[in-house]
Amino acid sequence: MSTGWVQRWGEQLRSTVRALEPDDTQPLPRLAPEPPPVDPVLVELLRALATALANSAESADQTTDRLRDVAAAYDADVSALVMPTGVIFRIGSSEVDLVTVSPRPLRLDQVAEVDNLVTVLTRAGVSPAEGLRRLGDILSRPPRFHGPTTFGGSLLLSLGFGLLINPDIKALPWYLALGGLVGGLRMLANRWATLSVALPVLAAFVVSALTVLVVVPITGDDAIRLLAPPLVAFLPGATLTIATIELANNQIVSGASRLVWGLSQLLLLVFGVLAGLSVADYRPAGPDVSQLGAWAPWVGVLVVGVGYLLFSSAPPGSLVFILAALTAAYAAQTVGAFVLTAQFSGFAGGLVIAPLTRLLAWFPKAPSSTVMLLPAFWLLVPGALGLRSFSQAAVGLGADGLLTTGLSIIAVALGVLVGTSLTRDVLAVSRTFQRPG
């Protein structure tokens, strides 16, 4: 009896070790018979799905895996090379297809529904034609929240990030006012295509000039510390983090292009900031003493969660899960600042948020993990650090912050990578585990 028990546990140990082994990434080439033709409707579905996933802020390797799983569910021989601006398909043994991705980020409610549809498609739960119809309905569906509510979300995001980044009690009303100004410009740009091209520069210019001319004389705080909260909607923190993750995963083309785009977006904002500071005759000021207590950032986390819900039309029932993810990410980042340093605190936040969002997604009526992960990327604030650091370097206040920004982005990305890998290993082991009899 004891011998059988030892054998069963020995077999379980071998299964666990095999589950943790890396995949064979360079298999030997083998001759294969000519694959059957691929359904043209399935190809059209994969093309549309590739565009939707690329606009859902998923990394290139995640999008590739999901497209491959959908194709395999319908017994189709399709491979994909994913980049932020396009997807190249190999269909069958010789046909190649290119899909151009228009940069139209999806709302959180659309991200959740696309994720649910992919889950159905990976089980071949509907026909390709029905899947294509459902995807079209998702992409054409009007937002859950409209103009005034979305505008209110802009106000709350600005206030929430103000409480997180620079909780100056005198500046709180101005965070609301400037956040409302930026929200109004965004609503106008949605109806005027020409304005949308220059919107980041224009918003940064107006906010910077008004901050120096109006807000600084009242608050006594430094203008550069007051700039990031109203401009948070333009900050590419999530883009830079995803780019770093892709580079670490050997997605060189996708990661490099996303990194260049994120840095260019940040430089456009810095250009607008410098123009506004120059016009308004900016003078550096010391820190203001009217800072709120240690409770302010925690309130800011809750305000950011509600603001993101309204601003990006999160799906119904998702607020509790978004707040849980944001609170856990900020708590881990706070602990990381004590255990490690402020520059590397993002590692703790990224390490916690990846498995936590997967765990929360298992709860009934919970949104997909991506819906919770995107607000958490914003909260870890590499974008806000970058705007402040670039602006300080440009006006001659030192370039030390640029190194801090780079370390923060790498720390967050590394934390997410490690957390995701550990989660994948735990799931792989759990699938092989067999209870001894």
pLDDT means over runs of 10, the chain (437 residues): 60 60 53 62 87 85 87 82 81 72 82 90 87 90 83 88 84 88 84 78 88 83 80 78 78 84 82 83 66 83 90 88 90 82 77 86 85 82 53 52 67 79 73 55
**Residues near 318 by Cβ (< 8 Å), separated by ≥ 6?**
108, 112, 309, 366, 367, 371, 372
Of 92, 109, 140, the residue at which a domain comes to its end is 140
The reply to whether 187 falls in a domain is yes
Instruction: Name the strands in the sheet holding 95-100, side by side, starting at the edge strand that comes first in the sequence.
Output: 78-83, 86-91, 95-100
The reply to whether 6 falls in a domain is no
| Whether residue 263 sits in one domain with residue 182 | yes
What is the reported pLDDT for 388?
58
What is the reported pLDDT for 34?
56
The answer to whether 308 and 321 are in contact (CB under 8 A) is: no
| Whether residue 248 sits in one domain with residue 267 | yes
Q: What angle do CA 193, 195, 198 make, to 5 degrees?
A: 120
Could you list the residue range(s) of the whole structural domain that residue 48 is in?
37-140
Q: Cα(303)–Cα(238) distance, rounded to whole angstroms?
A: 19
| Whether residue 125 sits in one domain with residue 227 | no
| Whether residue 85 sits in one domain with residue 201 | no
Q: Cα(5)–Cα(386) distance, rounded to whole angstroms?
A: 57
The reply to whether 434 falls in a domain is no
What is the reported pLDDT for 21?
58
Of 140, 167, 192, the residue at which a domain comes to its end is 140
Both tokens of residue 377?
Answer: 């990327």
| Whether residue 294 sits in one domain with residue 276 | yes
Distances in whole angstroms, Cα of residue 271 to Cα of each of 148, 158, 348, 430:
30, 21, 32, 51
| Whether residue 221 sits in one domain with residue 108 | no
Q: Using N-to-C axis directions, what is the helix angle for 319-339 and 296-311, rounded to 10°?
A: 140
**Quick one: the chain helix, strand, coil %, rounded to 5?**
70, 5, 25
What is the reported pLDDT for 303?
92
Number of domains in the chain: 2
The reply to whether 7 falls in a domain is no
- The amino acid occupying position 409 is I
The answer to whether 227 and 385 are in contact (CB under 8 A) is: no
Which phi and psi angles does 98 have, rounded to 5°? -115, 130
The reply to whether 12 falls in a domain is no
| Whether residue 372 sits in one domain with residue 418 | yes
Both tokens of residue 237?
Answer: 């923190």
Both tokens of residue 193?
Answer: 């295509």
What is the reported pLDDT for 31?
46
Q: Is 5 exposed, middle or buried (0-12, 13-18, 19+ CB in 10 A)?
A: exposed
- The amino acid occupying position 184 is G
| Whether residue 186 sits in one domain with residue 102 | no
Of 121, 140, 159, the residue at which a domain comes to its end is 140
| Whether residue 161 sits in one domain with residue 117 | no
Q: Tokens 């900050």 appear where?
A: 235
The reply to whether 256 falls in a domain is yes
| Whether residue 346 sits in one domain with residue 217 | yes
| Whether residue 208 sits in one domain with residue 116 | no
| Whether residue 162 sits in one domain with residue 133 | no
**Residues near 11 by Cβ (< 8 Å), separated by ≥ 6?**
none
The reply to whether 436 falls in a domain is no
The reply to whether 381 falls in a domain is yes
The answer to whether 434 and 12 are in contact (CB under 8 A) is: yes
